[in-house]
């Protein structure tokens, strides 16, 4: 019985190692894309939260499109915005925005392709239509 258990554990360990080996590491692009989506969603949640400080309403809009060159200026402006330092959620969001900016201009600079430089698109994004059921 003990030998069977050891063999079973060895098999599980081997299969786990094989699964980890097949998992592709994130690319620079995929990391930037996922972080930008996370920041945008967190900002939306922050804006709609009832429990948050009123200063949140004054924050610059934070819709991010990493294919738009203006996103770099948008991130800089958001991080430099002087209000809401006392709100922990805003400080955390600013730190994520700072990280995204750093990743985009340092680590991923050569990997990113900007398809537009339409800054107004980041102020008034065209949202996909809501499907009705």
**82 found inside a domain:** yes
> How far out from the chain centre does Cα 74 lie?
14
Taking the alpha carbons of 20, 107, 78, 117 in that order, is the dihedral positive or negative? negative
- Domain membership flag for residue 3: no
Task: Report the pLDDT value the prediction gives residue 76, as an integer from 0 to 100.
Answer: 93
d(CA 119, CA 58): 19
> In this structure, what is the dihedral angle of CA atoms 123, 126, 127, 132, given to the nearest 10 degrees?
140
Identify whether 132 is part of a domain: no
pLDDT score, position 53: 78
Which pLDDT score is estimated for 3? 62
The parts of the chain modelled with pLDDT lower than 50 are 21-22, 133
| Enclosing domain of residue 94 | 26-123
CB-facing half-sphere around the CA of 56: CA atoms within 13 A: 20
Residue 14 maps to a domain? no
The number of distinct structural domains making up the chain is 1
On whether residue 130 sits in a domain, the answer given is no
Per residue in 92-128, pLDDT (tens digit) is: 999 999 999 999 998 887 778 888 888 888 887 655 5
Can you give the pLDDT at residue 113? 83
pLDDT of residue 20: 52
């Amino acid at each position: 019985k003990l030998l069977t258990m050891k063999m079973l554990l060895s098999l599980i360990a081997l299969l786990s190692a094989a699964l980890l080996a097949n998992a592709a590491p994130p690319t620079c692009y995929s990391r930037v894309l996922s972080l930008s989506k996370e920041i945008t969603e967190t900002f939306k949640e922050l804006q709609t939260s009832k429990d948050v400080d009123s200063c949140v309403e004054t924050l610059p809009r934070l819709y991010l499109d990493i294919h738009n060159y203006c996103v770099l200026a948008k991130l800089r402006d958001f991080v430099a915005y002087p209000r809401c330092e006392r709100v922990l959620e805003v400080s955390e969001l600013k730190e994520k925005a700072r990280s995204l900016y750093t990743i985009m201009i340092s680590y991923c600079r050569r990997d990113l392709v900007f398809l537009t430089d339409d800054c107004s698109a980041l102020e008034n994004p065209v949202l996909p239509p809501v499907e009705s059921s």
